[in-house]
Amino acid sequence: MTPIMPKSDAAELIAAARIRKKLSWSDIADEIDAPLVWCVAALLGQHPMEAAQAERVCALLDLDTTVAESLQLQPSRGIDPAKLSDPTIYRFHEALAVYGPALKELIHEEFGDGIMSAINFNVDIKRREHPDGDRVVVTFDGKFLDYRW
Amino acid sequence: MTPIMPKSDAAELIAAARIRKKLSWSDIADEIDAPLVWCVAALLGQHPMEAAQAERVCALLDLDTTVAESLQLQPSRGIDPAKLSDPTIYRFHEALAVYGPALKELIHEEFGDGIMSAINFNVDIKRREHPDGDRVVVTFDGKFLDYRW
Amino acid sequence: MTPIMPKSDAAELIAAARIRKKLSWSDIADEIDAPLVWCVAALLGQHPMEAAQAERVCALLDLDTTVAESLQLQPSRGIDPAKLSDPTIYRFHEALAVYGPALKELIHEEFGDGIMSAINFNVDIKRREHPDGDRVVVTFDGKFLDYRW
Amino acid sequence: MTPIMPKSDAAELIAAARIRKKLSWSDIADEIDAPLVWCVAALLGQHPMEAAQAERVCALLDLDTTVAESLQLQPSRGIDPAKLSDPTIYRFHEALAVYGPALKELIHEEFGDGIMSAINFNVDIKRREHPDGDRVVVTFDGKFLDYRW
Amino acid sequence: MTPIMPKSDAAELIAAARIRKKLSWSDIADEIDAPLVWCVAALLGQHPMEAAQAERVCALLDLDTTVAESLQLQPSRGIDPAKLSDPTIYRFHEALAVYGPALKELIHEEFGDGIMSAINFNVDIKRREHPDGDRVVVTFDGKFLDYRW
Amino acid sequence: MTPIMPKSDAAELIAAARIRKKLSWSDIADEIDAPLVWCVAALLGQHPMEAAQAERVCALLDLDTTVAESLQLQPSRGIDPAKLSDPTIYRFHEALAVYGPALKELIHEEFGDGIMSAINFNVDIKRREHPDGDRVVVTFDGKFLDYRW
Amino acid sequence: MTPIMPKSDAAELIAAARIRKKLSWSDIADEIDAPLVWCVAALLGQHPMEAAQAERVCALLDLDTTVAESLQLQPSRGIDPAKLSDPTIYRFHEALAVYGPALKELIHEEFGDGIMSAINFNVDIKRREHPDGDRVVVTFDGKFLDYRW
Amino acid sequence: MTPIMPKSDAAELIAAARIRKKLSWSDIADEIDAPLVWCVAALLGQHPMEAAQAERVCALLDLDTTVAESLQLQPSRGIDPAKLSDPTIYRFHEALAVYGPALKELIHEEFGDGIMSAINFNVDIKRREHPDGDRVVVTFDGKFLDYRW
Amino acid sequence: MTPIMPKSDAAELIAAARIRKKLSWSDIADEIDAPLVWCVAALLGQHPMEAAQAERVCALLDLDTTVAESLQLQPSRGIDPAKLSDPTIYRFHEALAVYGPALKELIHEEFGDGIMSAINFNVDIKRREHPDGDRVVVTFDGKFLDYRW
Amino acid sequence: MTPIMPKSDAAELIAAARIRKKLSWSDIADEIDAPLVWCVAALLGQHPMEAAQAERVCALLDLDTTVAESLQLQPSRGIDPAKLSDPTIYRFHEALAVYGPALKELIHEEFGDGIMSAINFNVDIKRREHPDGDRVVVTFDGKFLDYRW
């Protein structure tokens, strides 16, 4: 019996295969007909994939079944302190430091006491062209959950 | 000479006046013709207001000029650890823990090596009706900045 | 204009009044016909109360309207590190350290990938008599939320 | 002489075997006639197993005796910071942040000065059907211990 | 209504009165016929006192009833990081760093899987004369609690 | 030239040998005629052993000389955060959180300004029978050191 | 006897006076003929001022002598974690995260083993016009100190 | 499929080759015609290199293509706590502790509310001769970005 | 009854009086015939003073008896994180980071397993003239304590 | 191409060789005619050695040239949190907690605003015989650096 390959190892093999085969993340998401951000998050280890999806990814990337097995594992998600200070990721957290309390006020004003779900939730990223320089547009879309006893 | 009122004190007085006068954040933003999230963030102490804006807010809320003076101060922004664990705010950070590395990959794939600016940046929040329960939709919109030596 | 009394100050005044008037938490919860744990949590500052509830509590305890106003405020909830090491509270966190990963496995086995909501959620506490010493029985009851894109 | 297999390695081998053999945690708990949550916690490394139990688990899963030996080890338990931010586990801690001080008040009101034991303690998890979505019901049941000099 | 005096304030007043009246901790413990360490801990805010005890302490020290009221409060205990590095206290924690794992092994060897209770527990301190310099002898005495499902 | 085996590796081999040979810690301490707690602490890596002691331990346990060499090494002691939250060890630290400031007061009252040494120090553990459940009795015995310029 | 005004209080009064009198930092630095960055740092509490300088600043700002006395105090400098996450300051630390190891390599290549002094040191800030947007140019200039036994 | 060599491993191989071949960082930067600080930062893993640059570096240093492949990877940048306390790097952070708030004031006075970009940014290091000892002169040069909604 | 003045408040009043009266620390130490470093440490709150000493200091500085009472209090010493990053203090800790492990090796080589006492301990500071710039010479002098069971 | 051996690995090999060959640190320092503390620090990885020194150390200890190459590397120094709590090292930091603020006051009184250099710096350790027990005497000797703009 061997342990199942950790998702972090699977993610490294996927990264290597993707780069060497010159495939974009969109190519992979299209192959398995999945939303783009979800698909990347899953391949990086944040969501379990179904067997058929995992196998098609591995076929596309010439990776063996140990990777496909790993992709189907239930993940242990969590906040990784080492990733918080990467500048590309940090800017999102900084924006929440500046605007988070305002978003909290407005959620409570509009919906009442509760939260935006991070589980019944999706996120999208788009490029918006702009004469002063193109823009990154990221949309968080989560079900409102009210404190309900 | 007295010190200028700290922005946190000004924010508390604004909160009290707003509740007692039964004004919504939208009412205030409309009064000064400012974007809603920006306005709330500024009143909570994250952006300096121009004198005219600050004075109109204080007139609307019957607050005196020491509050208006405080609202014009250059803020010292920052990540407040005590706010990170409020559930309404935490869910945004949790979503970034799950999807942040994926967003990083997709920003680099689409734009190259760089970041979404958190300075040349705006954020919007909307209610989206949905038969399974209405949804909170938050959009981050920032200029892409590439690492440019 | 004065700031609204902080919920922590309101909680201290309620504690003092409750002790001096020799009222139990159950007496207060009964007065406002609210679930016991919810009621105590609200009085300690973790939930907003409706105006009628807040006023009845203050009438019962001979507290003035500034307390009632504070009880209606939207709270900023959060994890207070100073409270984590109180032995009575710590034991719950210790139990989660020991059994949390097992609960995670069993939630995923029974329900799939998702969480027990802490928002659509209630908690109850009972005394269970036992010949070897009575027992504290605490029940967490939250809606299952599956990761749903 | 070789060291005894660490419990974390044993847990990974058990996870792999369980998934590949398509056995549920309940199947294993039934095999050794143990309470479900206790059994999963023990297999994840939080409780020592008796030799007979450990051997039956390994027989069921086709794991060799080095795993069975590891399962009998006295564990070093502890709070693992990396697991606190997994969303499925975090929700329990968040609920304690919101309701922990209330539980403390009610334990003291009902029982006096003391704690719910986390040692003379058991925990159960059930699915409760509900028309708005099924619910996770977790019960903590611990002996009350009063501060007794 | 005024809040009940915080236990930390009561402890400061007791310290001042004790020093100015040149009373030892033993004098106070004798007055209320309580174990010495328990009594000091209670006066420092770690245990609730009964009304009669609190009143006799305050009478002895010429402190008013607000102090006596505070002494009867249920405490919120906890680990205060600022106190960990006082050299007199630090040496105990250092000794546990060196000998704690050994104590754990020996508790498990002698009693099985479980803990020494810190609740059903007492502690004593004695001076032991010794030709090379007198010694501090501190005894921890707690009921063994085994992990019992 | 090979590095000397780390003390943590030696401790793991000793643990494995001790369990497989069904020897108690007392058996080992008796073999080398050493105090029990000291002996366990030394074998876990907190004290250097003399060559003769180390060799007799290894002979008893059928471990080779690389283990004996390691046991003679001067240790680097220190507080290991991962061990602080093991429940069996945590209870000692919790007791010090509750009683540490009282012990400090009483040491100063009895001895003056100074500390109990953690170096000129020994610790003992005993089982005390008790009708309500046997008790763990741990005694810290350290030389008083006064601040002496 | 009253304590000397803390430097943080002096800095707040200077900030208030400067804003209300519509004086720039340059105006103040010019008045006392001091380097600009040094002067601002000193007024914010990071350097002691000479009596003559402190008095001229207070005269210019109509502040009384308690402020001048405070400005002459020897400061206790230090890293304030709350300031690290202000975006304007954070970018400098982020740049050091990215380029610090490279600067270290180049200092060692050019000068040998040692450091740039932060004591025999000055810093300047300039605006550099640029068609794509003006630039902030900050120069650190410190004496090289080699490790010299 | 093998994972791509981590950038930290590539950096170690480059360090070894550079030292053994007695090449300076300037020699390498000249070879690829890149700015010196940027080049060192990129070789230490903080910037992706273009394929041609990476290959010329590896040719110069006799390193194989797995290193060149690694140098082209998109990095995950971040603040490494272990590097903050190296004295050569620490002095820069200490200088920012002393002068950072002053730089913030002066940026806001000169440019308004905003930041110096750490992305559209370059850094230079020079030796300045001085009779009292040569000096390290480091220049940060970043585009000003104003908060622009 | 009023609390005894905290030692930190006493230290601030002493600092103010000393500066306004233009007395050096040596003047005060001479007045009470105490070692210089000990005296300053005691006045800053790290050692209790005897009544006669405290009263003579207060007489010299025209401070009232509440200060003298405070100086006689048993201190709670401890590591104050805010002071660790003051550059003048930090350099000592940095030197220990570089040389501490070497000092440990040499203490063990010369004395065996044990420590330099920080309690039976004194410290001295001298100016040593040197043509390249005068030097600070600090001597730590503590009794060796061997681990003695 | 192989990476250069990390200094920590070199230090472990030196430790093993030194112990097995029964050489003292003084023997090694004498062999290379270097100050004792400097030499030990360098062999533990805190200073680069010159080639001739490194080779003589390796010849003395029968270590091969990969160790000598490592000893010549420029180190990355830093504060290692794991070493701070070793009792032998901790006492120095504790002494600085107690006396550091006093040393700061006296440095400023004697020398003005500045620091003792930790770079132009040496440290010595001696045994001082004393009838009550021999003493460890450690001298820090660093050039005074004044804040000089």
Helix (H) or strand (E) holding F116: strand F114-128
Give residue E84's identity as a one-letter amino acid code: L
Q: Which of J59, J48, J54 is nearest to J17 (CA)?
A: J59
> How many CB pairs lie under 8 A apart between chains I and J?
216
Do C93 and C126 fall within a single domain? yes
Q: Tell me if there are at least 3 CB pairs under 8 Å linking chains G and J.
A: yes
User: Residue J76 falls within a domain, yes or no?
Assistant: no
Q: Do H136 and G137 touch (CB under 8 A)?
A: no
Assign 3-class secondary structure to B84-108: HCCHHHHHHHHHHHHHHHHHHHHHH
3-class secondary-structure state, position E12: helix
Count of CB atoms situated within 10 Å of the CB of B21: 12
Q: What is the C-alpha to C-alpha distance for residues I130 and I132, in angstroms, rounded to an integer?
A: 5
Distance from CA of I69 to the nearest CA of G (A): 16
Structure tokens, B14: 């604004």
Mean pLDDT of F97-117: 98
User: Residue F1 falls within a domain, yes or no?
Assistant: no
Please say which residue of J25, J48, J71 terminates a domain. Answer: J71
Mean pLDDT rounded to a whole number for chain A: 97
Q: What is the C-alpha to C-alpha distance for residues A77 and C33, in angstroms, rounded to an integer?
A: 40
Contact assessment for residue H97 and residue G80, using Cβ atoms and an 8 Å cutoff: yes
Do J46 and J85 fall within a single domain? no
Mutate which of C1, C2, C5, C149 to test chain B, going by most B C-beta atoms within 10 A? C1
Q: H33 exposed, middle or buried (CB, 10 Å; 0-12, 13-18, 19+)? A: exposed
Q: G82 exposed, middle or buried (CB, 10 Å; 0-12, 13-18, 19+)? A: exposed
The per-residue pLDDT for J10 is: 98
Model confidence over D79-94: pLDDT tens digits?
Answer: 888 899 999 999 999 9
Please say which residue of E71, E93, E118 terminates a domain. Answer: E71
Contact assessment for residue H87 and residue J119, using Cβ atoms and an 8 Å cutoff: yes
Taking contacts as CB-CB distances below 8 angstroms, the residues of chain A near B100 are 83, 89, 92
Taking contacts as CB-CB distances below 8 angstroms, the residues of chain I near G79 are 85
Instruction: Answer yes or no: is pLDDT of F1 > 90.
Output: no
Do B66 and B97 fall within a single domain? no
Instruction: Answer yes or no: is pLDDT of D40 > 90.
Output: yes
Which of H37, H107, H141 is nearest residue G88 as measured by Cβ atoms?
Answer: H107
Model confidence over H68-109: pLDDT tens digits?
Answer: 999 999 999 988 888 999 999 999 999 999 999 999 999 999
Do D16 and D54 fall within a single domain? yes
Q: Which of F135, C16, H88 is nearest to E123 (CA)?
A: F135
The per-residue pLDDT for E1 is: 85
Instruction: Answer yes or no: is pLDDT of A68 > 90.
Output: yes
Beta strand ranges found along chain G (DSSP E): 114-128, 135-146
User: Residue A37 falls within a domain, yes or no?
Assistant: yes
Percent of chain E with pLDDT strictly greater than 70: 100
Show which subunits contact D, needing at least 3 CB pairs below 8 angstroms. A, B, C, E, F
Count of CB atoms situated within 10 Å of the CB of I127: 14
Q: Tell me if there are at least 3 CB pairs under 8 Å linking chains I and A.
A: no
Q: Do I139 and J143 touch (CB under 8 A)?
A: no
Q: Band of the pLDDT at D1, cuts 50, 70, 90?
A: confident
* Beta-bridge mates of residue J136: I142, J127
Q: Do I3 and E19 touch (CB under 8 A)?
A: no
Cα–Cα separations (whole angstroms), residue J115 to B82, G47, G77, G120, J119: 35, 13, 12, 10, 11
Q: Which of E142, E78, E79, E149 is nearest to E115 (CA)?
A: E142
Residue bearing tokens 């620091």 = J115
Contact assessment for residue D77 and residue D119, using Cβ atoms and an 8 Å cutoff: no
Taking contacts as CB-CB distances below 8 angstroms, the residues of chain C near B82 are 78
Taking contacts as CB-CB distances below 8 angstroms, the residues of chain A near B140 are 92, 95, 136-140
Taking contacts as CB-CB distances below 8 angstroms, the residues of chain I near E9 are 3
User: Residue I64 falls within a domain, yes or no?
Assistant: yes
If phi > 0 it is left, if psi is from -120 to 50 it is alpha, else beta; for residue I136 that is beta
Q: Which of G88, A109, A118 is nearest to B43 (CA)?
A: A109
Total count of domains within chain D? 2
Do B11 and B66 fall within a single domain? yes
Assign 3-class secondary structure to chain C: CCCCCCHHHHHHHHHHHHHHCCCCHHHHHHHHCCCHHHHHHHHCCCCCCCHHHHHHHHHHHCCCHHHHHHHCCCCCCCCCHHHHCCHHHHHHHHHHHHHHHHHHHHHHHHHCCEEEEEEEEEEEEEEECCCCCCEEEEEEEEEEEECEC
Those residues of chain B whose CB sits closer than 8 Å to some CB in chain G are 1-4, 69, 73, 76-79, 118-119
CATH number for position J54: 1.10.260.40
Do E45 and E87 fall within a single domain? no
The per-residue pLDDT for C79 is: 86
Mutate which of E76, E145, E146 to test chain D, going by most D C-beta atoms within 10 A? E145
Residue in chain J nearest E93 by alpha carbon = J85
CATH number for position D139: 3.30.1160.10
Mean pLDDT rounded to a whole number for chain F: 97
Residue J91 a catalytic site member: yes
Do I59 and I93 fall within a single domain? no
Show which subunits contact E, needing at least 3 CB pairs below 8 angstroms. C, D, F, I, J
Those residues of chain C whose CB sits closer than 8 Å to some CB in chain E are 9, 12-13, 15-17, 19-20, 61-63, 82-87
Q: Do A89 and B110 touch (CB under 8 A)?
A: no
E56-60, I77-81, J14-18: least confidently modelled range? I77-81
Model confidence over B27-51: pLDDT tens digits?
Answer: 999 999 999 999 999 999 999 999 9
Taking contacts as CB-CB distances below 8 angstroms, the residues of chain A near G85 are 94, 97
The per-residue pLDDT for A125 is: 98
Taking contacts as CB-CB distances below 8 angstroms, the residues of chain I near H85 are 94, 97
Positions in chain H whose pLDDT score sits under 70: none
Distance from CA of G16 to the nearest CA of B (A): 5
Instruction: Answer yes or no: is pLDDT of G82 > 90.
Output: no
Q: Band of the pLDDT at J63, cuts 50, 70, 90?
A: very high
Query: What are the backbone dihedrals phi and psi of residue F114, each rounded to the nearest 5 degrees, phi first?
Result: 170, -165
Look up the domain containing I23 and give its range.
7-71
User: Residue F13 falls within a domain, yes or no?
Assistant: yes
Q: Band of the pLDDT at J133, cuts 50, 70, 90?
A: very high
Model confidence over C104-130: pLDDT tens digits?
Answer: 999 999 999 999 999 999 999 999 999
Q: What is the C-alpha to C-alpha distance for residues E101 and E106, in angstroms, rounded to an integer?
A: 9
Distance from CA of B133 to the nearest CA of D (A): 12
Do G49 and G89 fall within a single domain? no
Mean pLDDT of I94-103: 98
Q: What is the C-alpha to C-alpha distance for residues B81 and B63, in angstroms, rounded to an integer?
A: 30
Structure tokens, D135: 């619910």
Q: Band of the pLDDT at I81, cuts 50, 70, 90?
A: confident
Do F56 and F94 fall within a single domain? no
Contact assessment for residue F105 and residue E40, using Cβ atoms and an 8 Å cutoff: yes
Contacts of G56 by beta carbon, 8 Å cutoff, 6+ apart = G31, G32
Q: Do D15 and A4 touch (CB under 8 A)?
A: yes
Please say which residue of F72, F104, F123 terminates a domain. Answer: F72
Do J108 and J85 fall within a single domain? yes
Catalytic residue numbers of C? Answer: 91, 94, 117
Which of B2, B4, B78 is nearest residue G19 as measured by Cβ atoms?
Answer: B4
Q: Which of C18, C83, A116 is nearest to D98 (CA)?
A: C83
Contact assessment for residue D68 and residue D13, using Cβ atoms and an 8 Å cutoff: no
Model confidence over D102-147: pLDDT tens digits?
Answer: 999 999 999 999 999 999 999 999 999 999 999 999 999 999 999 9
Catalytic pick among I20, I77, I91, I135: I91
Instruction: Answer yes or no: is pLDDT of G13 > 90.
Output: yes
Taking contacts as CB-CB distances below 8 angstroms, the residues of chain G near I15 are 3-4
Model confidence over A40-66: pLDDT tens digits?
Answer: 999 999 999 999 999 999 999 999 999
Question: What ipTM does this complex have?
Answer: 0.97
Q: Give the N- to C-terminal CA distance of chain D in Å, as an integer.
A: 46
Do H54 and H93 fall within a single domain? no
Q: Tell me if there are at least 3 CB pairs under 8 Å linking chains B and F.
A: no
Handedness of CA D6, D11, D14, D20 (dihedral sign): negative
User: Residue H134 falls within a domain, yes or no?
Assistant: yes
User: Residue B1 falls within a domain, yes or no?
Assistant: no
Q: What is the C-alpha to C-alpha distance for residues B8 and B80, in angstroms, rounded to an integer?
A: 13
Beta strand ranges found along chain H (DSSP E): 114-128, 135-146
The per-residue pLDDT for J1 is: 86
Residue bearing tokens 């600090």 = I138
Structure tokens, H148: 């622009």
Instruction: Answer yes or no: is pLDDT of G81 > 90.
Output: no
Catalytic pick among J50, J94, J105, J135: J94
Taking contacts as CB-CB distances below 8 angstroms, the residues of chain E near F127 are 110-111, 144
Contact assessment for residue G105 and residue G41, using Cβ atoms and an 8 Å cutoff: no
Taking contacts as CB-CB distances below 8 angstroms, the residues of chain H near I97 are 85
The per-residue pLDDT for C1 is: 85
Model confidence over I4-20: pLDDT tens digits?
Answer: 999 999 999 999 999 99
Q: What is the C-alpha to C-alpha distance for residues H98 and G79, in angstroms, rounded to an integer?
A: 8
Cα–Cα separations (whole angstroms), residue E28 to E64, E75, F96, G94, I76: 16, 20, 22, 57, 22
Mean pLDDT of I117-146: 98
Distance of CA A55 to the CA centre of its chain: 19
Contacts of D6 by beta carbon, 8 Å cutoff, 6+ apart = D70
> How many CB pairs lie under 8 A apart between chains F and I?
45
Query: What are the backbone dihedrals phi and psi of residue B102, each rounded to the nearest 5 degrees, phi first?
Result: -70, -40
Mean pLDDT of A6-12: 98
The per-residue pLDDT for G59 is: 98
Instruction: Answer yes or no: is pLDDT of B80 > 90.
Output: no
Mean pLDDT rounded to a whole number for chain G: 97
Q: Do E1 and C13 touch (CB under 8 A)?
A: yes
User: Residue E1 falls within a domain, yes or no?
Assistant: no
Q: b/e map of B132-148 (b: 16 or more CB within 10 Å)? A: eeebbebbbbbbbbebe
Q: Tell me if there are at least 3 CB pairs under 8 Å linking chains D and H.
A: no
Mutate which of F8, F12, F67 to test chain D, going by most D C-beta atoms within 10 A? F12
Model confidence over E97-140: pLDDT tens digits?
Answer: 999 999 999 999 999 999 999 999 999 999 999 999 999 999 99
Query: What order do you get walking across the sheet with H114-128 strand by strand?
Result: G114-128, G135-146, H135-146, H114-128
Do F61 and F86 fall within a single domain? no
Residue in chain I nearest F120 by alpha carbon = I148
Mean pLDDT rounded to a whole number for chain I: 97
Radius of gyration of chain C (CA): 18
Contact assessment for residue I1 and residue E16, using Cβ atoms and an 8 Å cutoff: yes
Q: What is the C-alpha to C-alpha distance for residues I26 and F43, in angstroms, rounded to an integer?
A: 51
Mean pLDDT rounded to a whole number for chain B: 97
Distance from CA of I8 to the nearest CA of F (A): 19
Instruction: Answer yes or no: is pLDDT of A82 > 90.
Output: no
